[in-house]
Structure 1
């Protein structure tokens, strides 16, 4: 068969399998379609399909097909991260800066500390730390992976729970937005390359100047041209960031972060996000699954993922509980917010992919982090749904 035919077989599997599992299995309550797509990507990877049916795996996911899938996945996730940057709105966070700063800081800081302790333990054992990693980079990367909240997935889940536009939803978006900035800032710190620091400083200086010019242009061109200008800007920033060693994902995020969401119609933005999730992001999830490796770490991968899950979930809940005590929230409010901030799938996967690309973590570490991200995200809706029923006065109360 030709490469194009095998590529289309792969695409057929990518889109058919997760949809049938999600629809026929009625998994929406505990595993939205995006989570099913991630899990299916893992099952189609070398750790499961490749181990059970190695000949079939090598036939479908041969080198040319994987190269094509990776190219689609790269652009898809750049677009998705770019949209996440655009949707950051820090004005409300500044208006409620004391509450937002305390909550976001503790919701990020406590699981970061817990995850870093787990990272120290992993660094002391062979097989977890990448060959190009300094110990501090590895530990900080593992810690931040435990602290991540995936803002795009959080938005999707809150839409399904019908609380996105409610006061509690808007509060949680403020906390997650601040954490999002911290996540990408830490990633940029981890990726600092002292051998190429001159290039990185030059890129950041050029980016600052270009951003001012770009913002001046965007408010002066017709609204229907802003999408085209924004995509050109995305490609340029991704190229510049990758050229200087910061990775194209950092470029994609900062490209969106300097843009204002009110430049675009919100309904069009929501539609684009949903269509990306439907049309091209499943390819990214499959591409991610192809990088999982259970053989490398054996049973230790599952042990590590369980430890990371405890650090992640426990850290978030402890952090929001402390914030609730400081800010005098009502009983149960900290737990509700802590569980909603558990959603890690996608942004944490992007974060871990970058660490793997830069050889800061190994495939075994990546697999453990991926399992942790999927598990924490799947826990969110089943635990939050009954809490929302019992705590209606908190859901509709402004803070």
Structure 2
């Protein structure tokens, strides 16, 4: 008697889950270890998480154990990591936007912050663009114009890691000092302008030249107006309720998840990346400090613990540092790093001195504003995904992100050691503090 066994075909959903879960476990363990090591050497946790992503990519893990890396991150797992990364970035930029107090302060303070912001973005933008024109033949893709390539390099180098900067200032109790308020306001302006540059570049690259980009740019501007002038007023009652009770009810929690994800989907449909929608959704949130504190307390931990390390690893899988070996590539990397460092550090230091601060305080701010952290990684990942930059330039800018972030706090402490820092913590009574709640990386 022959028994015919009924073979049940494997469930493809179960198969992909059994591959994604081990990848996430390794990502989280590596991020935790590297994050703790970074804190042990007086660096922010986010720096260790950035390094963890690079280490899990082809640069180290893939070089030492290529078969193990290929088994842990097979091609079918990477789209899942990409989706998780995109959701994480959209929610993260939502929280960054929600944490910015764009109500302003005293007129003099806003003017000084604008001066500092201009000194941080213009020299970096011009130096970066100049280096971009110089390196166009070596590093650019053929379908990217010299203008777009140069503007992308300049825009990437003009960023400041606003959330990480806020964390450093809060940890050192400087968020309400003159230095703290000016630096935070200037960094938020720099980042907002850099995102505008990237939105224009994305629209130009995905459209048929500058003319083809006009509908995308127009739709993006229209969407921004709707979010800030229509959606924002509708959310104010929710903000008052959360501020009064100190907690999010089920309806409010659904709203703060659905709004940034929907905004991200709409900006993707328009033709710019979903992080723009998340950032605009954050700017549309109620400005009450109690609401912002409750929002960050409820959402930031899961975003920064699970989703951002996934993004760092996805970036690391695209980072092949071996591609920048050789004299020409190393010289190109040195020029990009030098342009980015000098533009921010000396530009901001000279602006602070002109405003009336001491040289030590000025160089301390220059060091802080030079940190690029997560923000430049988001910027260049968008450029890579949309085909605006090569893998080689991507790897160079990842290194710029790591090195400038690692140097921010040492440069600050070198210019303003603990014995001198105490004098900067006092807040003039006539100035209203800038309320910024960022408890992330």
User: TM-score normalised to the size of structure 2?
Assistant: 0.83
The one of 19, 33, 56 equivalent to 2:32 is 19
**Are positions 1:361 and 2:369 aligned together?**
no
**Are positions 1:268 and 2:281 aligned together?**
no
Q: Equivalent residue for 1:289?
A: 316
Distance 1:301 1:359 in 2: 20
Q: Equivalent residue for 1:159?
A: 170
Q: Give RMSD over aligned pairs.
A: 2.3
Q: Equivalent residue for 1:234?
A: 260
Closer/same/farther in 2, CA of residues 220 and 273 from structure 1, 3 Å limit? same
**Are positions 1:4 and 2:31 aligned together?**
no
The structure with more radius of gyration? 2
**CA deviation digits over 1:75-108, x for unaligned, max 9?**
0111001111112222335632221111110111
Say if 2:38 and 2:44, in contact at 8 Å, map to a contact too: no
Distance 1:27 1:238 in 2: 33
Task: Give 1:385 deviation, angstroms.
Answer: 2.7
**Are positions 1:69 and 2:81 aligned together?**
yes
* Total equivalences in the alignment: 396
Q: Equivalent residue for 2:325?
A: 298
Closer/same/farther in 2, CA of residues 308 and 63 from structure 1, 3 Å limit? same
Distance 2:303 2:170 in 1: 17
Closer/same/farther in 2, CA of residues 15 and 206 from structure 1, 3 Å limit? closer
Closer/same/farther in 2, CA of residues 210 and 157 from structure 1, 3 Å limit? closer
Task: Give 1:210 deviation, angstroms.
Answer: 5.2
Distance 1:212 1:276 in 2: 28
**Are positions 1:143 and 2:173 aligned together?**
no
Unaligned runs of 5+ in 1: none
Distance 1:189 1:40 in 2: 32
Task: Give 1:264 deviation, angstroms.
Answer: 5.4
Task: Give 1:268 deviation, angstroms.
Answer: 2.2
Distance 1:47 1:237 in 2: 35
Distance 2:38 2:348 in 1: 32
Unaligned runs of 5+ in 2: 1-13, 243-247, 432-441
| 373-382 or 154-163, which deviates more | 154-163
Q: Equivalent residue for 1:312?
A: 340
**Are positions 1:350 and 2:363 aligned together?**
no
Task: Give 1:20 deviation, angstroms.
Answer: 2.3
Task: Give 1:30 deviation, angstroms.
Answer: 4.3
Distance 1:83 1:245 in 2: 22
Distance 2:282 2:74 in 1: 34
Which structure 1 residue ranges, 4+ long, deviate > 6 Å from structure 2? none
Task: Give 1:391 deviation, angstroms.
Answer: 3.8
| 66-75 or 156-165, which deviates more | 156-165
Task: Give 1:191 deviation, angstroms.
Answer: 1.6
User: TM-score normalised to the size of structure 1?
Assistant: 0.91
Distance 1:184 1:240 in 2: 17
